[in-house]
Chains A and B, each alone.
Chain A
């Protein structure tokens, strides 16, 4: 066996040592030696050279001590390193000459031990080593508390008064508050993601990092409470990151509570900074820290519910002694529950255990909130909707009775109050704050900003605005597109912003509020605004309008919602993919929402999208065809008119058309689609509704308009399946049934019927 490589490695290390020439071993030199030692140890193991590992381990400990500056006698350290290298050379020499090394390495090992104060650098066989290095690690790496204490000492001793000023620097504090809060929001989003994917290390890292950063800065700013709390959360997550701790609900809970507490603490700093007397802190940091440590140990949350054994004990069904015996037996049968074991052992009766179990279950549910299956909730809301309708039917009947009982009338109005209150509560059950959606958006903005190398700040307003849970997912996609558009096309590049005399960082503001029966979401940027001329130019080119005459600025801006009028010069990674604002508009309208735009050139653009609060209720126009009632979503209706006779044309190849505001739109006779005998057949006798579909408008011919109303949407039931042109049904105020029309379906229906004809 040749030891040439090993000899060469040793020579290299020895020559590096010579180069030190008695100077202090600094960090880069220590690094170099450590790398040498790693290689040497590896090669020696390959070549089956004994003893090398022990020496290299010892030298590594020595070097670590040097790096961490915990070695008392530096001169001795240097000479021991030299000795170690010589020893390694003699070991390898021995192997080269005789295939073994007969010398004694104990003396050297003892020297290392006494120098470093690390006992147990054993010279035993290689199998011992993992254990040895483990104990070494424990000895050299201070525990976290110890390290924390050290830092405290350093901090207190080394920060002179002059430095205090800088530390108290207001602007730093302000930056910390703003950035810290932003980081905590990020943590909140990521922790929700983590809950869904507990295995994902990226999410753990994404939570770990901000805590780490907060801790770092807090330590500079002397914000001890924040630093300590962040430190504890960080080390908890570090464990999770290293796979030493499983992400379970208690971990998620405690991290979320920790993030909340940090938020409160940072808020307190802000209050103090602004001279406000902050609310007294109703926060028990030390018990939170206690909880974090408990979870970190894998102990989980201190259980709030009593164990089954405790309940049995309290009820006097069991003595402590027999409980302990039962626990012991249960331990040996891990898949058997304690109650089962106790019954088997004859210590308690089945009845007693089941009573205790019931008590335990009561404890669990004894909180201020409960979880309910959303389907049950939906059913409840549905039933309440029917109740309201039925109630109004009874009231209607009562009105028609000439000699109605007075008491009955009074009782009915009482009932009316109760039902409307009930309706209010039931719809509020499904409402959730828009906060989460906004936070996902702000996260999105950060990512987008990074990709497009822009600096973007996000401002969230009205996060507490509530919206139907079912709407949350629905509005997500349109919002994403709008936000993308704002970041990518709305905001200028930093250099252009500076040229325009604006701050380098752009601002995206998300704002939510209620207006009437809808929730409005505004997405504003402080960018350059839209290019009016360019939009108009494109519109003229595409034949949307002939000239810009008579068009207000607003009208022109709104044109970007038309297909093919997106003004972006280049397709980018961010908002590219051909999704123009017309697609966004359609998506919003599909949700029966409305989108609008406002723009101040050079100052910025605001998109506002109004969504209905819920998808369960529709604002509809009731129309009558023959004896049937239909409901059309009000948002789909552009106009209602009775055309003149000369507006009606039958165009060859295109069928019947109505001229509306100079445009020819196809006429759809509702009665022929649904096979009903109408009251009026001529458009000029009846009513025509101009209705918008996804990318075209048509005229629907109906007999008359009954009125506008809000109706609760009901499905037609599974028996009927999906019927084209009808999206559901509703019970009208007078108890009649009206079908809710789906305009796109009606259009398609009319087109297929037309082609058959």
Chain B
């Protein structure tokens, strides 16, 4: 599979962004951009072509699901792969994200293998 896709990692916790970045690198993904919240993410999405979004759920200014909804509301990005990162106890959130059109979700903590698996599966779907 194409490993050169550009992945946008959205999380307000810088260390967490680094964690995800490291795991992505281990899985062979090198083309990574970061954003610290939904608002910044949308700005990034406007200014450059991104192939895949990995977003945290809980962020200030704009939560992950708000970002998801904003992305889905944009005709150009209605099909954008969107992987939501969640914590275990918040299953209602997962359902809400699923209803809002998330491509898949991943539960913290995860390994690079699981992350890669999810990405590959989503990318295969969109061809």
A, B assembled together: yes
Interface residues on B, range: 35 or more
Within 8 A of A (CB), among B100-124: 100-105, 107-109, 111-114, 121
From 21 to 67 in chain A, residues with beta carbon under 8 angstroms from any chain B beta carbon are 26-28, 30-32, 34-35, 38, 64, 67
Please give, as numbers and ranges, the residues of chain A lying within 8 Å of B23 by CB-CB distance.
166
Assess the A67–B98 pair: CB atoms within 8 A: yes
Check A28 against B101 for contact (C-beta < 8 Å).
yes
B19 close to A151 (CB less than 8 A): no
A197-222 vs B: 1/0 string, CB under 8 Å? 00000000010110011111101110
Q: With A158-B114, A179-B13 as known contacts, state yes or no: A34 contacts B88, CB within 8 Å.
A: no
Nearest Cβ on chain B to A7's Cβ, whole angstroms = 23
In whole angstroms, how far apart are the Cα atoms of A34 and B102 in the complex? 13
Q: A160-B111, A216-B16 are in contact. Are A27 and B98 (CB under 8 A)?
A: yes
At the interface, yes or no: A169 with Cβ under 8 Å from chain B?
yes
Contact call B88/A35, Cβ cutoff below 8 A: no
Interface pair B102/A28, CB less than 8 Å apart: yes
B48 at the interface (CB under 8 A from A): no
Residue of B nearest to A150 (CB): B88
Taking a contact as CB atoms under 8 Å apart, the answer to whether B13 and A213 are in contact is yes
- Across the interface, do B19 and A220 meet the contact criterion of CB distance under 8 Å? yes
Distance from B93 Cβ to chain A, minimum over Cβ atoms (Å): 11
A residues less than 8 Å from B95 (CB atoms): 34, 64, 67
**Contact of A144 with B by CB under 8 A:** yes
The distance in angstroms between the C-alpha atoms of A214 and B94, with both chains bound, is: 20
Contacts known (A150-B88, A151-B88, A212-B58); A217 close to B16, Cβ less than 8 A: yes
- Nearest CB in chain B to that of A210: its residue: B13
Q: Which residue of A31, A64, A216 contacts B13 across the interface (Cβ within 8 Å)?
A: A216
User: Which of B88, B92, B98 touches A148 (beta carbons < 8 Å)?
Assistant: B88
Contact B89 A238 (CB under 8 A): yes
Given contacts A151-B88, A172-B18, contact A35 B112 (CB under 8 A): no
Q: What 1/0 flags go to B2-21 for Cβ under 8 Å of A?
A: 00000000011111101100
Complex interface: chain A residues within 8 A of B85 (CB): 216
Task: Contacts A31-B101, A172-B22, A217-B16 given; indicate if A163 touches B111 (C-beta within 8 A).
Answer: yes
A31 touches B99 (CB 8 A): yes
| B45 at the A interface (CB under 8 A) | no
Report yes or no: B89 in contact with A67, Cβ–Cβ below 8 A.
no
Bound-complex Cα distance A26 to B120 (A): 13
Contact B16 A213 (CB under 8 A): yes
- Which residues from chain A contact B46 at a C-beta distance below 8 Å? none
Q: Does B59 interact with chain A (Cβ within 8 Å)?
A: yes
- Given A166-B23, A238-B89: A172 in contact with B15 (beta carbons within 8 A): yes
A31-B18 contact, Cβ under 8 Å, with A147-B89, A213-B13, A238-B89: no
Q: Does B28 contact A (CB under 8 A)?
A: no
* Interface residue? A294 (CB, 8 A): no
A28-B102, A31-B102, A158-B114 known; A166-B13 Cβ under 8 A: no
Q: How far is the CA of A141 from the CA of B92 in the complex (A)?
A: 9
Find out whether the CB atom of A166 lies under 8 angstroms from the CB atom of B88: no
Q: Once bound together, how far apart are the Cα atoms of A30 and B104, in whole Å? A: 10
For residue A171, which residue of chain B has the nearest CB? B18
Please, how many angstroms separate the alpha-carbon atoms of A159 and B19 in the complex?
Answer: 14
Cα(A180)–Cα(B19), bound, Å:
14
Chain B residues with CB under 8 A of A158: 111, 113-114
Q: Tell me the minimal C-beta distance from B11 to chain A in angstroms.
A: 8
Q: How far is the CA of A31 from the CA of B68 in the complex (A)?
A: 13
List of B residues within 8 angstroms of A140 by Cβ = 91
A579 nearest CB across to chain B (Å): 27
- Chain B residues with CB below 8 A from A35, complex form: 99
Say yes or no for A68: interface residue by CB 8 A criterion.
yes
Question: Chain A residues in contact with chain B, CB under 8 A?
Answer: 26-28, 30-32, 34-35, 38, 64, 67-68, 140-142, 144, 147-148, 150-151, 154-155, 158-160, 163, 166, 169, 171-172, 175-176, 179-180, 183, 206, 208-209, 212-217, 219-221, 231, 234-235, 238
10 extra interface residue pairs, beta carbon distance < 8 Å, beyond A166-B26, A175-B15: A31-B98, A32-B101, A148-B89, A160-B111, A163-B112, A169-B22, A172-B22, A213-B12, A213-B13, A216-B87
Q: Which 10 A-B pairs have the closest CB atoms?
A: A213-B13, A31-B98, A219-B109, A147-B88, A175-B15, A220-B109, A176-B15, A216-B108, A27-B104, A220-B19
9 contacts between A and B (CB under 8 A): A27-B104, A28-B104, A68-B91, A140-B91, A148-B88, A163-B26, A180-B15, A209-B58, A216-B109
